[in-house]
Amino acid sequence: MSGYLDHLTVERGLAANTISSYRRDLRRYVEYLAAAGVRGLREIAESDVSGFLAALRQGDDEHPPLSTTSAARAVVAVRGLHKFALLDGLVPDDVAHEVRPPTPARRLPKAVPVESVVALIEAAGAVDGPRGLRDRALLELLYGTGARISEAVGLAVDDLDRGQAAVRLAGKGGKERIVPVGSYALRAVEDYLVRARPALAATGKGGVRGGALFLNVRGGPLSRQSAWAILRSAAERAGHGAGGVELSAMSPHTLRHSFATHLLDGGADVRVVQELLGHASVTTTQVYTLVTVDRLREVYASSHPRART
């Protein structure tokens, strides 16, 4: 198992959080096999793999039933382990090949109106001092580029090209992409760099600690957890946005969804949005087109004189 996890880390370049989840899933798989009397990879049968999936969905005294998404991730980890073992010559067959992960119910991304995003950003910037400038810059950048939260907090100062109004984002698997930065986000980041980041950096021992773009109040790099807290606090202060939209349940991914949906609403090509989001397949991006179609349907139903019976 350790060899497979090393392979995922070194060769595939998966994120630390993903590796941690896979390790937890595989540890549970090993425990399940041990309880069934299976002691080695060559003793595992397809029925053991499918039985593990059933156990995940059913739960037991020590584990609650897993959701479809979590069970699917665990099965993907197990399938990857068996495929790795086959390619490495450890087993003669891939017994997990025919065991398919459960298919999650299709959920449409959540997006909020532009006016609600503006209210959120204004609430973030309402905090006095360097923190308000930092928080506003962070949320402007998240919404203005569609960056994942891990990509945003992982930015170095040099990743932002203010002359070209663009930012270099490191996505999943270490894949980099260049994304334009709009004037609002660029101005907010510039204000933060000039008026706030030096003060935050000075609180750290020895002044500036590394080249991280977003710093915490101790002068170190801002963490994902802290970025989440910044958004949550701003959402609570903003309360309700346009049309009474409740903002307190917003997440960084909501800003990413809104970025994509608003681009498509404005006429952007889905393949351009795919590149901006860093999706490997346009199929992943096309789910946003369903959102815009639903919105068009709502407008049509409420506006056209012959739309309703």
Q: Which of 7, 83, 131, 172 is catalytic?
A: 172
CB 210 within 8 A of CB 129: no
- What pLDDT sits at residue 171? 83
Round to whole Å and give the CA distance between 81 and 111: 36
Q: Which of 28, 73, 148, 197 is catalytic?
A: 148
Q: Which of 100, 253, 271, 297 is catalytic?
A: 253
Task: Output the DSSP codes for 73-139.
Answer: HHHHHHHHHHHHHHHTTS-SS-TTTT-PPPPPPP-PPP---HHHHHHHHHHHHTSSSHHHHHHHHHH
The answer to whether residue 257 is catalytic is no
What class does CATH assign to 114-302? mainly alpha
Determine the CATH number of domain 2-87: 1.10.150
The answer to whether residue 256 is catalytic is yes
The answer to whether residue 304 is catalytic is no
Q: Which of 32, 143, 192, 288 is catalytic?
A: 288
Plot region of 257 (φ>0 → left; ψ -120 to 50 → alpha; else → beta): alpha
Round to whole Å and give the CA distance between 76 and 271: 27
Residue 216 carries which side chain, given as an amino acid letter?
N
Tokens of 231: 């958004």
- What pLDDT sits at residue 308? 61
- What pLDDT sits at residue 266? 86
The answer to whether residue 253 is catalytic is yes
3-state secondary structure of 270: helix
CB 27 within 8 A of CB 78: no
- What pLDDT sits at residue 208? 45
- What pLDDT sits at residue 284? 72
Count of CB atoms within 10 A of residue 182's CB? 14
Question: Can you name the residues that pair with 212 across neighbouring β-strands?
Answer: 156
pLDDT digits (tens), the chain, 309 positions = 778 888 888 877 878 888 898 999 999 999 999 999 998 899 999 999 999 999 998 888 888 888 888 888 999 999 999 999 999 899 999 999 999 888 766 666 678 889 999 999 999 999 999 999 999 999 999 999 999 999 999 999 999 998 999 999 988 777 889 999 999 999 999 999 999 999 999 987 544 445 899 999 999 999 999 999 999 999 888 876 555 556 767 888 889 889 988 998 888 888 888 888 888 777 777 777 766 666 667 666 776 666 665
Q: Which of 73, 136, 256, 262 is catalytic?
A: 256
Domain residue spans in the chain? 2-87, 114-302
Question: Can you name the residues that pair with 136 across neighbouring β-strands?
Answer: none
The answer to whether residue 148 is catalytic is yes
Tokens of 187: 């101005």
- What pLDDT sits at residue 175? 84
